[in-house]
Amino acid sequence: MFVSHPLVEPETIEDREYQRRIVESALKKNTLVVLPTGVGKTVVAALVIAERVRNCPGTRALFLAPTRPLASQHAEFFRKCLKLSVSLVTGTVKKPERKELYGSDVVVATPQTVENDLKSGDLDLRNFSLLVVDEAHRSVGNYSYTFVAREFVKRSGNPLILGLTASPGSDEEKIREICSNLFIRSVELRTEEDEDLKPYVKKIEIEVRKVELKGSLAEARELLREALRDRLSALASYGPRPKTKRDVLALQKRFSAQVKTNPSLFRALSLTAEVLKIWHALELLETQSSSAAVKYLGKLGTRASDRAVLSDERISRAIVLMTGEEHPKLEELVKIVKEEMGKRIIVFSHFRDNIQKIREVLEEVCNPAVLVGQAGEDGLTQREQVETVKKFEEGIYDCLITSPVGEEGLHISSADVGIFYDSVPSEIRTIQRRGRVGRVKIGKVIFLVTKNTRDEVYFYVARRKERKMKEILKEMKPKERTLEEFL
């Protein structure tokens, strides 16, 4: 069965009970909708838009998406399923044209563009009755979502806000901040365990494959670790010894602010820079590939901290040991792709320096494409990103190797197999990655993990955070999903 609505094109939206219930709730008060990736958050938005515009004649809906490619994909979907005029407004559209486009029934836009046009007076929100915020977990700090939501509530004659996310995070304080910034009054939650959602959630097989650094790579790792430990110990003379990269970044920020009035901190500031560079090289070696680590160290320039790192005999020795010897993950990756041949595969890798290496080794066994953001010499434009995804979905490419832009910045309909080349210590990113797999049929997710490294730590951190997030959501559900009671 399909949804029957005067503003919805016939036979374009499947009628699902859980979506109907969520829409009914979202039309009553500002609502945060938390749904697993791939079960129709955008459909919920389309139905809320259609009913809101019908109930509030002469008003319009504003839909915000964090990236231009994602906004473009949403606009295309709304044009197909809604009997409404739909415009796309991004920073690439010139100001005079944007003013005209804001007159459409549905405006799909990037938040930064809307914020700029609100500040300049080029956008009037008085006749907008609905604000939809996609990837609502970004509504923290000074991100544009916060400003736009505040202005919308202030300016609109009849404001209603709908937030959409697959994961608001595992931090209660962050959930509170998201809800506060979007003026949320109700939370609609669905997890894979909910009875009304179960029929639409495809099973995903999870597999973990562990590899180990041996020989010259294990020796190189110990040299890098030793060089890192020495510098961390030296930093301890300026206060508590930093334990995480975040600690080092906080020290660097503090020393930068104080060094002008206290020149003796210059050495401490240089140490933090050295630590961060060695830390990054070590992370590349442990989680990515030796060639990525060598490439990164080779790009270091003539700054004092760069020279200090490169002049360290342990670093020089590590570079020699890493050159020509590749990470066992690459061999295991090729093995997996051969095993899954004939299926659509997505490979997720966090670091751009490693993606080209992955492509190089996979070109021998399949027809891969690379999906990266716009920055850098090898960056892809918005049009190229969308075209790459389209060719993957059409089967022209059988493997898509993606940076974080493929986790959230674009809609990728489905893959049969997702390979997490590296682990990320973020439950949000882990959920986003996993949501790209098995939307149409049973899928498989394979984690590649290097034993006894931060790779393994990140893997378990993400799992723990996801469990915590689900516990928070479960606590919210029995209370009729009202935010007032939750807070």
How many CB atoms lie under 10 A from the CB of residue 386? Answer: 19
Whose structure tokens read 């949000």?
Answer: 428
Look up residue 375 and give its amino acid.
Answer: A
Cα–Cα distances (Å) from 429 to 16, 61, 165, 169, 202, in that order, read 27, 28, 12, 10, 19
Instruction: Work out whether the CA dihedral 343, 348, 352, 354 comes out positive or negative.
Output: negative
Tell me the three-class secondary structure of the chain, residue by residue. CECCCCCECCCCCECCHHHHHHHHHHCCCCEEEECCCCCCHHHHHHHHHHHHHHHCCCCEEEEECCCHHHHHHHHHHHHHHECCCEEEECCCCCHHHHHHHCCCCEEEECHHHHHHHHHHCCCCCCCEEEEEECCHHHCCCCCHHHHHHHHHHHHCCCCCEEEEECCCCCCHHHHHHHHHHCCCCEEEECCCCCCCCHHHCCCEEEEEEEECCCHHHHHHHHHHHHHHHHHHHHHHHHCCCCCCHHHHHHHHHHHHHHCCCCHHHHHHHHHHHHHHHHHHHHHHHHHCCHHHHHHHHHCCCCCHHHHHHHCCHHHHHHHHHHCCCCCHHHHHHHHHHHHCCCCCEEEECCCHHHHHHHHHHHCCCCCEEEECCCCCCCCCCHHHHHHHHHHHHCCCCCEEEECCHHHHHCCCCCECEEEECCCCCCHHHHHHHHCCECCCCCEEEEEEEECCCHHHHHHHHHHHHHHHHHHHHHHHHHHCCEHHHHC
pLDDT of residue 154: 95
Residue 46: exposure state from Cβ atoms within 10 A (0-12, 13-18, ≥19):
buried
Domain boundaries, the chain: 17-200, 204-211+328-464, 215-322
pLDDT of residue 478: 39
Residue 63, beta-bridge partner list: 108, 132
Phi, psi angles (nearest 5°) of residue 264: -65, -15
Per CATH, 204-211+328-464 and 215-322 having the same topology is answered no
pLDDT at 481: 45
Give the C-alpha separation, 343 to 419, whole Å: 12
pLDDT at residue number 473: 64
Counting other chains too, the contacts that 192-201 makes at CB distance below 8 Å and 24 or more residues apart are 192/36, 194/18, 196/17, 196/18, 196/21, 197/18, 197/35, 197/36, 197/39, 200/16, 200/18, 200/39, 200/40, 201/36, 201/39
Strand partners, 174: none
Inter-axis angle of helices 290-298 and 352-362, nearest 10: 130
Dist. CA 95–CA 89, nearest whole Å:
10
The residues of the chain scoring below 50 in pLDDT are: 478-481, 486
Sequence-separated (6 or more) residues with CB below 8 Å from residue 249: 272, 276
For 17-200, CATH gives 3.40.50.300
Query: 34 with 189: CB under 8 angstroms?
Result: yes
What do you get for the CA distance between the two ends of the chain, in Å?
A: 38
Reference 237, options 275, 271, 280, 278; nearest CA is: 271
User: Residue 243 has what pLDDT?
Assistant: 86
For domain 204-211+328-464, give the fold. Rossmann fold (3.40.50)
Distance CA 401, CA 99 (A): 38
At 410 the pLDDT is 66
pTM of the model as a whole: 0.79
Interacting residues of 426 by C-beta distance below 8 A, sequence separation 6+: 462, 465
**What's the confidence (pLDDT) of residue 225?**
96
Give residue-wise pLDDT tens across range 224-280: 999 999 999 999 888 888 888 889 999 999 999 998 889 889 999 999 999 999 999
**pLDDT for position 172:** 82
- Structurally, what CATH architecture does the domain formed by 215-322 represent? Up-down Bundle (1.20)
Q: What pLDDT score does 441 carry?
A: 60
